[in-house]
Amino acid sequence: MKRQLVLFLLLMLVAAVAVADPATIRGKVVAPDGNTPYPDAEVTLVAIGATTYTDAQGEFFIRDLKPGPYDLRVKTSRSETTHRITVLATPMTDVKVVVK
């Protein structure tokens, strides 16, 4: 009986994680000084092809993601770089991307 209860609780935990609310990346693309924003940079999650652009403050959002690791490609007028990020199992994951 105890073993069945443990198995049931484990299955419930797995099911809860599987139907968890989608996550969002909130990011900012900045110059090497760490402060100057990069407006109009193209930001793409490579594996799923989700692309967006930064606003005047260098900020971007990508919504409806599953938690896990992603390659984030950032193209600016001067460079293209790829950064490995991890989307957390929380409603919002913040990232700061420094580009040349």
Res 21: pLDDT: 80
The answer to whether the CB of 61 falls within 8 A of the CB of 91 is: no
* Stretch 71-83: mean pLDDT: 95
Residue 7: what residue type? L
* Stretch 24-30: mean pLDDT: 96
Cα–Cα distance between 21 and 77 in angstroms, integer?
Answer: 35
User: Is pLDDT above 70 for 29?
Assistant: yes
User: Strand order in 23-30's β-sheet?
Assistant: 59-65, 23-30, 92-98
User: Is pLDDT above 90 for 24?
Assistant: yes
31-65 tens-digit pLDDT: 999 999 999 999 999 999 999 999 999 999 999 99
Res 100: pLDDT: 85
**Across-strand partners of 83?**
72
Res 10: pLDDT: 52
User: Is pLDDT above 60 for 14?
Assistant: no
Domains of the chain are 22-98 (2.60.40.1120)
- The secondary structure of the chain in percent helix, strand, coil, rounded to multiples of 5, reads 15, 45, 35
Res 92: pLDDT: 95
